[in-house]
Amino acid sequence: MKDHLIETSGCIKCGACINECPVIAIEGVQRFSGPRNLGVDAPRFLPDIGATADNIMMCTTCWRCEEVCPANLPIPEAVLHVRRQIFSAPTMLYGHRRIAENIDRYGRSVEPKNTHDQESLRGKGNVMYFPGCISKERITSIYESSVGVLDKVGTDPWIPEGWVCCGAPLEKIGDWDRLRMLREENLTRFEGRGEIVTSCPGCTSHLIAHYNLEPLHTIEFLYENVGISRLRFKPNERTIRVALHHPCHLARTIGPHAIDYAYSILHEMPGVKLVEMEDPGACCGGGGGVVAGYPDIALNLATEKMRKAREVGAELLLAPCPFCVLNLGRLDFPEIMEFISFVNERLE
Amino acid sequence: MAVVGRAITATALSTGCVTLFRPPGIMLSPLKTDFEMLNRLISPFNLIVGQKPESIACALDELRGFLMPRLEEQGLPMSGDFNQSRCLISNIGSPYSCSINPKYSENGRLDLSERKTVALLGFLGLRGFDPDLAASIFKSSVGRRGIRAYWTQIPEIRERYDVSPSEVAARSDHSPLEENIGRSMKELDEEFIGIPPIFGLSQYQKKMNHLERDTGKRIFEVVTPLSLPGHRLQTALEKVAAREGCRRLKGLTAIDIGFSGNHASSVTVRSRSREQRITFSKMILASGNLVSGGLVTDVDEPDQIVAPLQADISRLPSTISASDASLGSQALRSAMTTGIRTDADFHIVCRKGEVLDNVFGAGSALSGFSLPTGVGLGGVMFTAWIAAENAMEGG
Amino acid sequence: MTGAGIARDLALRGTSVMLLEKEDFSNGATGRSHGMLHSGGRYAVKDPESAMECAREGATLKKIASYCIEDTGGLFIGIEADDPTFVNLFLRGCAGTGVQAKEITTKEALSLEPRLSSRVSSSVEVLDASIDPFALTLGNVEDARDCGAEILNYRAVHRFLVKEGRIQEVVFENLRNGSRESVRPEIVVNASGAWADNVASLAGLRIPMSIDRGTLVVFNGRLVSRLVNRLRMPSDGDIIVPSHSASIVGTTSHKVDSVEDFVVDRSDVDLLISEGQRMVPNLRYARAIRAYAGVRPLLGGGKEGRDISRTYRVIDHEEEGVDNLVSIVGGKLTTYRLMAEKTSDLIMRKLGSAGHCITASEPISDPMAAKTVRDFLVFPLIRMNRKYGDEQTDIIDGCMTSLRGKEILCTCEEVLRGEAEYFCSREDVVRLSDVMRRTRIGMGYCQAGLCIFDMASVMMEHSNEEPLDLIGQYLRERWKGVEPVLFGSQLRQEVFKRYLYDGVYQLESLLGGEAH
C-alpha cells in the first residue's frame, strides 16, 4: 500500500488547491474544510483521523486540486484513503448505505428501473462493451446509444453476461470489501475480452487503476480506433447551440485528449453551433459519492454549471459522462444529453 | 502551437504585487538615457549575456505593444511608462494595486504623501487581511502616521466566514457586494481607502471604477499573502493565449523526450491514465522554478523533465549581492539561484556542453530569475518573448 | 518542569511559593526534550535505578496528567545487525526493575507498526507514552496558581544577598521591562536544570555537573503510532516518538562547555536520519521540518555522556554553609513529580511544617471528552481536547463568543483564532513563541509561514509592541531550528515563505536583513 502520508508531505501551503476547489467555492470552508485539510493536514494526526468524518464525504473527487498542485501531491487519492480508513458500516451516510444495499441485492450501485433485458448481447466482434450502472439502469439511452453507435461503425460488441458494478462508487464511499468482491466477480466474467469500451469515465478510470485493464472510453474508441473519417453524419438544416461540459473524470483522470476528441467529433456534425461556457471543466457535482451522500451540495454545483451554460445561450449541454448527466438532469434548462447519445442521434 | 503542462505556474503563485519590471533599490536618481535605465531594469536577470541594448529595447517595445492592449482587454489594467524610472510595465500603474511593500507603495497616480488621509478597510470573515496589522506595518515601512484601520461587515462575506479572496471573487460577479462595500466606504472620512483584493479578473476594472465614482473616494487594493495578483495575471494571460488561438492541454506531465542526434523530436506526456507522444519541431521549456514545481530539490523524481533533457542545472551568481546577504543561508541562496542554463539565444545547454538546437528555455526555470525577489516578472516575460521569437526564426 | 512541579507540590501543601523562570516556562531541557514518558526500558540494563523510577512514575503520571499524554505504548526493536543476545539482557533487566515488557514476534510488530523495517529481528512491547512537555509544565503552573502560588516568567535571578550563612534577599530582573525587584524568601530552591551550577554560584557554591547536548529532528506526520526504540545499549538515534502531528527522532549526546549552546549540529541531523532509517526505512522520504538541540545537565562524577546515571539528586546546601538553599539536579521529565516530591519533603522539613505530598494522586487537570458544537467542524474541537485539559471549556466558549474566534488561524495544526486570543490576553504571554508553546500555532510543517501574521494580529490587541518587532523576534528565534533542515520539501517551503515575506511585507529589509 502506498504511503499516503509521505506522498502528501510536499505541501508548501500555496493555497492553489483551495482556490480551485468547487465545493469550497459553493459551500465555504466552515462546512467543507477542503482538499488540503482533508488530504494533507488531517492524515498527520492519525489516531484522530475520524474527526474528518463530518465533512470528508463532501469531496466530489473532481481532481482539480491535484491538477493545480505545484508539488503534484496525490490529494484525491489521499482523501479516498482516509475514507477507506474511517469506513465503518454502522456510520455510513444514508445515501451511501443505499448504494451498498443495491450492490448486495442487484450487483448495481443503483436500483434497476429497467427490466428490458439486453444482458445476453453476444456480438461476434472483438469488442467488449461494459455499460456501467447508470447507463444501464438509470439513463438507459446511454446504453442504447452506445450499443447503437458501436453497431453503426461496424463493431459487433458483446456484453459480459452477469456483469456487476465496476466498483468505482465503492472506492468513493470507502467500502473496500465490496469493491474487492465486485472486482473478483467481474474479472471472471471478462474472459475473452479483446478491446474494452466503456460509457462512463468513472468505469474507465476504475478499470485501469483497479483491474489493471486498458479500456477505452467510447469517445476514445471512436476517435482512435474508428477514426473521424469513418463517421458519417446526417445532414441537418436546423442549427442548435451546443455547449460541451468537460467531465472531471474524463478530462483529468483519463486525459484532456478525450475532450479534444469530443470537440473534433462535434466539428464534423452539421447543424451544430458550438458555444463555449466559462470554465467548462468546472465540476458538476456528480462525482465522489456526493449525489448520494449530500444531494444538496450536488444540486448546488449543478445549478452553478447550468447557469454558466445558460449564460452563453446554450440550448443543449453535452456531457460525456452518465453521472454528470444524472446530476445535471435534475435541473430543467438547458437540455442535457450524454455525448454518445447525441452522436448516435446524428450518425447515419 | 500548444501549451502543455500541469499544476499552477510560478506566475500564478507570485505573491505580493505583480510588477513586470521593477528596478532594485528604492531610490533612483534620474537616468540619462533609456538604455541606462533599461540596463538597470534588466540587470537583475542574468539573461542578457551577449544581447545588444538596442535589440533589447526593440524587443521590449514589441512585447509591450503586444501584451498591454490585450491584457487590458481581459480586464487587467496595465500602464507602461517607459520614462518612469520605477517601472516599465506594471499592474500597479493602475490606480488600484498597491502594496505595503515600500518598493511599490508609491505609484504615479496614487499619491500617498503625508497630506492625504488613508484608511484601510478590512472585511470581517475575509482571510488574510487585517487592516490593523497592515496599518501598523505601513506606518513602520512607509513612515506614514495618518493611516487608520477599519473593519466592516459585508453580509456576503460574513455569512460564509473565513472565506478566501478567490471565493469572494467568484461570487462577486453575481451579488450586490460592491453596493454594500460602497455603503461602508461612504461612512469613512478618509480620501484614500485601501481594500483587500476581492474582485475577479473580468470585473475588476469595472467594479473598482464604479466604487470610486459611487463613493467619491480614491481606492487602492492592498496586496495580502496569497491574494490574487499573480493568479489574476495568469488568468489574463491564459485568456489572451486562448484568443490568439493557442491550444492548452492541462494536467499533463512531460516524462520523456525523444531525440535524433542533437535534435529533439517528440515529448511523451502523461495524464493519470494515459501516455501520449507529441511530436514537435520546436519546444520551449518554461516549467517554472522551485516553488511551482518546475525544478526539484532532490533527484529522486523520475518525472522531472529536466532529467531526460540532461539539461545543465547551474547557479549563476545574482548581480544583487545585498539580497544574498540577507538570506543568511547557503541552501536558500542555492535554491533560489539555481536554474537551467541556456546560451544567449536561449537554447538549452546540456550537461555535457552540447547545445540543443530546437529546445529553448524560458522563464523562472532558468537560473537567475528567482533572486532577488521583488523585481517583478518582466524578466521572465522577456525571456519567453525572445525564446519564442528565436524558435520561430529557425523555421 | 521540575520547578513548576515543586511549586505545585508545595502550594498544594499550603506553602506560599514564588517561582521565577528566566524565559518562558519549559524553556530549558523540558521544552527541548523528546517528549517521552519512559516505560523505563531504556535504562533497564545500564541504569536500573532510573528504570525503576520511570516504571513507577510513568504509571503515576498517566493517572494524574492524562490530559497531555498520548498513551501510545512503545516497542523496542532489534534490527538484524544488532546483538541478538541483547533482548535477553533487556528482558531480565526489565523484570528486575519492574518495567513491564512483553516479547512479541516480528510479524506482530510489523502489523502493529507497518512502517517498520522488515529487518526487525526481535521486538518487545513496553508501556512508553508520548507526553507534551509544554502542556505538562503549564498544567502544573496553572494548578499551582490556583493554590495561591505566584509564578512569573521572564524573570531572571540576578543576585543573592548572602549574610550569616543565609540567602537574605533574591534580586531578580524583569526581562520585559528591565526593572529590578527583590524578595526575601525563607528558602530558595534552585531547580534551574542545566543552569543549576550558575545559580548556585550566585551563592558562592558549585555543583559539579557536565552539560550534554543532544539534537532532535522533527518530521512531518505520525510515522509511527507508538514510540519505537532500538533494542540495544543506549546510543544515538535510538528513538522515534509520535507527538501530535509529528514524529521526533533523537537523540545524540555531546559534552559541551556552555549551557547556552543550543546550536544544532548538522552532522547530528544526518546521523539521526540514517540511524532512524534503519528502524523506519521511509524516514528517508519523510519531511524533516525542524531540528532542535537541548542541553541536559548530568550530575558530575567523572563519567562521560551516556554512562552518567540519569537519576536525580536533592542537595541541601546547609552542609556547605548556606542554610536555606536547596538544589535539585539531574533527573528526567518522566520522574519530575518524584523529584518534586522529594525536594518538597525536604523543604517542608526545613520549614518545620507538616503536610504530605498529594501529587501522586491529585490530577493536574480533569480529563474530559471532546466537546461537540452545533454547526462547527469536529476537528478543531478534538485538537483542543488533546491540548488543553479542562481549560478547553473556557477556550471553546471564547472561540464561540469572540467576533473572530472561530476563524482558523493555523491550518497545519488546526488552531482557531479564539485559542490565540485566550492566551494573548494572559499577562505572562508576551512573545509570539509563548503563544506557540501554548497553542501549537506554528509547529506544523509550514513552520508558521502564514500564521505568523495572524498571531501578530492577535497579539497586537494585547501588547504595545510593534507587530514587526514581534515577528522579527519570532523569526530570529526559530531560525536556529529551520536552517539545519533546509533540504527537500522544507527547503521549498522556506523559499516560498521568502517570496511571501518579501513580496508582501518586505520583511527582509524592514528587519534590517537579520531575519535569516
Report the CATH fold assignment for B105-222: Rossmann fold (3.40.50)
Chains that touch C (3 or more CB pairs under 8 A): A, B
Number of other residues whose CB lies within 10 A of the CB of residue C178: 7
pLDDT of residue B224: 73
Q: Which residue shows C-alpha cell 461556457?
A: A277
What are the two backbone dihedrals, phi and then psi, of residue B348, each rounded to the nearest 5 degrees? Answer: -75, 135
Residue extents of the structural domains in chain A? 4-86, 127-226, 231-346
Q: Mutate one of B3, B4, B8 to test the A interface: name it (highest A CB count within 10 A).
A: B8
Residue type, A256: P
Q: In the Cβ-directed half-sphere of A274, how many Cα atoms lie within 13 Å?
A: 13
Chain B residue with Cα closest to A205: B273
Query: Is A302 within 8 Å of A327 (Cβ atoms)?
Result: yes
**Which residues fall within 8 angstroms of residue C426, CB to CB, at 6 or more apart?**
none
Digit-coded pLDDT (tens) for C401-451: 998 999 999 999 999 999 999 999 999 999 999 999 999 999 999 999 889
**Which residues fall within 8 angstroms of residue A186, CB to CB, at 6 or more apart?**
A160, A163, A164, A166, A167, A211
Least Cα distance to C440 among C425, C461, C419 occurs for: C419
Query: Is B129 within 8 Å of B122 (Cβ atoms)?
Result: yes
Contact B8 A69 (CB under 8 A): yes
**B contacts of A253 (beta carbons < 8 Å):** 271-273
What is the overall mean pLDDT for chain C? Answer: 92
**Strand pairing report for B97-98 and B218-222:** parallel
Contact B132 C505 (CB under 8 A): no
Q: What does the alpha-carbon distance between residue B257 and residue B304 come to, in Å, rounded to a whole number?
A: 11
Domain at A4-86: CATH code = 1.10.1060.10
Q: Indicate if the pLDDT at residue C144 is higher than 80.
A: yes
In chain B, residues under CATH classification 3.40.50 are 105-222
Kindly report which listed range (A220-224, C30-34, C163-167) carries the lowest average pLDDT score: C30-34
Task: Compute the C-alpha angle B239/B244/B246, nearest 5°.
Answer: 80
Number of other residues whose CB lies within 10 A of the CB of residue B309: 23
C-alpha pair distances (Å), A83 with each of A80, A131, C205, C461: 5, 27, 62, 41
Q: Which residues of A93-120 are buried (b: 16+ CB within 10 A; e: fewer)?
A: bebbbebbebbeeebbbbeeeeeeeeee
Kindly report which listed range (A59-63, B77-81, B311-315) carries the lowest average pLDDT score: B77-81
pLDDT of residue C514: 43
What Rg value do the Cα atoms of chain A yield, rounded? 20
Low-confidence ranges of chain A (pLDDT < 50): none
pLDDT classification of B393: cutoffs 50, 70, 90 = confident
Residue C27, min C-alpha distance to chain A (Å): 26
**C contacts of B99 (beta carbons < 8 Å):** 503-504
| Interval B214-242 mean pLDDT | 81
- Using a 10 angstrom Cβ sphere, with 0-12 exposed, 13-18 middle and 19 or more buried, the burial of residue C308 is buried
Residue A70, min C-alpha distance to chain C (Å): 11
In chain B, residues under CATH classification 3.50.50.60 are 2-77+232-393
Q: What does the alpha-carbon distance between residue C21 and residue C18 come to, in Å, rounded to a whole number?
A: 10
Q: What does the alpha-carbon distance between residue B223 and residue A233 come to, in Å, rounded to a whole number?
A: 54
C-alpha pair distances (Å), C487 with each of B13, B157, B335, C237: 21, 39, 9, 20
Q: Which residue shows C-alpha cell 470489501?
A: A177
Superfamily of domain B2-77+232-393 in CATH is: FAD/NAD(P)-binding domain (3.50.50.60)
Number of helices followed by number of strands (H, E) in chain B: 12, 15
pLDDT of residue A232: 92
**A contacts of B288 (beta carbons < 8 Å):** 70
- Would you tell me the crossing angle of helices A94-106 and A176-189 to the nearest 10 degrees? 30
pLDDT classification of C197: cutoffs 50, 70, 90 = very high
pLDDT classification of B12: cutoffs 50, 70, 90 = confident
Q: Indicate if the pLDDT at residue B42 is higher than 80.
A: no
**B contacts of C454 (beta carbons < 8 Å):** 130
Q: In the Cβ-directed half-sphere of A219, how many Cα atoms lie within 13 Å?
A: 29
- Backbone φ/ψ region at C98: left (φ over 0), alpha (ψ -120 to 50), beta: left
| Interval B376-389 mean pLDDT | 85
Residue A108, min C-alpha distance to chain B (Å): 25
Q: What does the alpha-carbon distance between residue A294 and residue B211 come to, in Å, rounded to a whole number?
A: 38
Contact C496 A14 (CB under 8 A): yes
Pick the CATH number of A231-346 from 1.10.8.60, 3.90.1150.10, 3.40.50.1860, 3.40.30.10: 3.40.50.1860
Biggest alpha carbon–alpha carbon distance for chain B:
70
Least Cα distance to B46 among B308, B383, B392, B299 occurs for: B383
Q: Which residues of C443-477 are buried (b: 16+ CB within 10 A; e: fewer)?
A: bbbbbbbbbbbbbbbbbbeebeeebbebbbbbbee
The beta-carbon neighbor of A12 closest among C382, C383, C493 is: C493
Q: Indicate if the pLDDT at residue C368 is higher than 90.
A: no
Q: What is the DSSP string of C220-272?
A: ES-S-SSEEEESSSS-TT-EEEEETTEEEEE---EEES-TT-----HHHHHHH
Least Cα distance to A61 among A174, A151, A138, A163 occurs for: A174
pLDDT classification of B327: cutoffs 50, 70, 90 = low
First to last CA, chain A: 49
Contact B14 C491 (CB under 8 A): no
Residue B231, min C-alpha distance to chain C (Å): 14
Q: Mutate one of C407, C480, C499, C500 to test the B interface: name it (highest B CB count within 10 A).
A: C499
Q: Indicate if the pLDDT at residue B87 is higher than 60.
A: no
Rounded-to-5 percentages of helix, strand, coil across chain A:
55, 10, 35
Neighbouring-strand partners of residue A127: A195
- Using a 10 angstrom Cβ sphere, with 0-12 exposed, 13-18 middle and 19 or more buried, the burial of residue A241 is middle
**Under CATH, which architecture does the C1-206+310-364 domain have?**
3-Layer(bba) Sandwich (3.50)
Q: What does the alpha-carbon distance between residue B125 and residue C51 come to, in Å, rounded to a whole number?
A: 53
**A contacts of C287 (beta carbons < 8 Å):** 6, 9-10
| Interval C197-217 mean pLDDT | 92
**B contacts of A15 (beta carbons < 8 Å):** 164, 226
Same fold, A127-226 and A231-346: yes
Digit-coded pLDDT (tens) for C315-340: 999 999 999 999 999 888 999 999 99
Number of other residues whose CB lies within 10 A of the CB of residue B260: 8
Residues 231-270 of B with CB under 8 A from C: none
Dig out the grid coordinates for C497 from the structure.
515563505
Q: What does the alpha-carbon distance between residue C325 and residue C322 come to, in Å, rounded to a whole number?
A: 6
Residue extents of the structural domains in chain C? 1-206+310-364, 378-510
**C contacts of A11 (beta carbons < 8 Å):** 445-446, 489
Dig out the grid coordinates for B313 from the structure.
542545472
Number of other residues whose CB lies within 10 A of the CB of residue A83: 25
Instruction: Give the single-character DSSP code of A285.
Output: S
Q: What does the alpha-carbon distance between residue C471 and residue C456 come to, in Å, rounded to a whole number?
A: 7
Digit-coded pLDDT (tens) for C64-104: 999 999 999 999 999 998 999 999 999 999 999 999 999 99
